[in-house]
Structure 1
Amino acid sequence: MLVQIVKQNLSENIDLLQQLTNEEFTLSFPELSNATIGEHMRHIIELLGSLVDRYESGIINYDKRKRDIVLQTDKTEAIKILEKYRFELDKPNKQLALAHNCFSDTETLETNYFRELLYNLEHSIHHQALIKVALYRLPHIKVSDSFGIAPSTLDYRKQCAQ
């Protein structure tokens, strides 16, 4: 179920990017502290890539991601990588080590693939919510009702509507 929800989230991101022109993808928005939708999408992609690309090694480090400018300036390349990761998500859960640079570059925490998939889902939803603010200036762009909204919030809204 988790993998399917992450795939759905990636599909929402792909659907958004397919509607944007490359100029809109790279447009700075004051509402985003002059960041671009492309910068937010690159960040989503690279964190997920840190997990998917390092799954076999078993050591994940979100701090040492690539920061590939092409992913924030070429929406076609961003779509290509999102589709690649959507295809590669089906992996069994396994123990992983999460390296981080909070205290030292050698400290690790125990984690697992599904926990990190959940983290990436929540991270993507957070950035989608920010992107959604910018989309008010692009009213021709349509996103799903769930875009940028946590599954728990969607469930809560359903309960309130009953």
Structure 2
Amino acid sequence: MLIQNVKNNLSENIELLRQLTNDEFTQKNPELSNATIGEHMRHIIELFGCLLENYDCGVINYDDRKRDLILQTDKNEAINRIEKYLHEIDKTNKTLSLAHNCFSPVELLPTNYFRELVYNLEHSIHHQALIKVALHRLPHIRISNSFGVAPSTLEYRRQCAQ
């Protein structure tokens, strides 16, 4: 179920990107502190990339990512990378280490692939919610009702509707 939810989320991002022009993708949005949809999408893509590209070695470090600017300036490159990750996401759970250096020298914390998938899913949803704010300026863009909404919120709404 987790893998399918992640795939659905990545597919929502592709569906959005296919509707945007490259100008809309790279347009600065005052609602996003002058960030672009592309910058937010790059951030989502790069964190998934950190997880997938370091799965085999077993050490994930989200702080040490490439920050590939082409992913925020060319929507087709962003789509291609997400499609690549869609094909790579279905991996078995295994123990990993999360490296971070937020408040100290690098520290390794125990984690696992599925836990990091949950983190990436929640992270993507968070950035989708921000992107959704910018989409109010683009009424021709159609997104799903679940875009930028946490699964727990969707479930709560479903229960309230019954």
Q: TM-score, normalised by structure 1?
A: 0.99
- The number of aligned residues is 162
Contact 1:99 1:105 in 2 (8 A): no
CA distance in 1, matches of 2:108, 2:20: 39
Aligned to 1:19: 19
Q: Is structure 2 residue 117 aligned with structure 1 residue 117?
A: yes
Equivalent position SS for 1:63: coil
Runs of 4+ in structure 1 over 4 Å off:
none
What's the RMSD between the two structures over aligned residues? 0.6
Closer/same/farther in 2, CA of residues 105 and 87 from structure 1, 3 Å limit:
farther
Aligned to 2:106: 106
Contact 1:50 1:60 in 2 (8 A): yes
| Percent identity of paired positions between Structure 1 and Structure 2 | 74
Structure 2: stretches of 5+ with no match in the other structure: none
What's the CA shift string for 1:102-139, capped at 9, x where partnerless?
23343110000000000000000000000000000000
Q: TM-score, normalised by structure 2?
A: 0.99
Task: Report the residue type matching 1:3 in the other structure.
Answer: I
CA distance in 1, matches of 2:101, 2:67: 16
CA distance in 1, matches of 2:76, 2:102: 34
Contact 1:38 1:71 in 2 (8 A): yes
Taking the TM superposition and a 5 Å limit, the aligned residue runs for 1:1-162 are 1-162=1-162
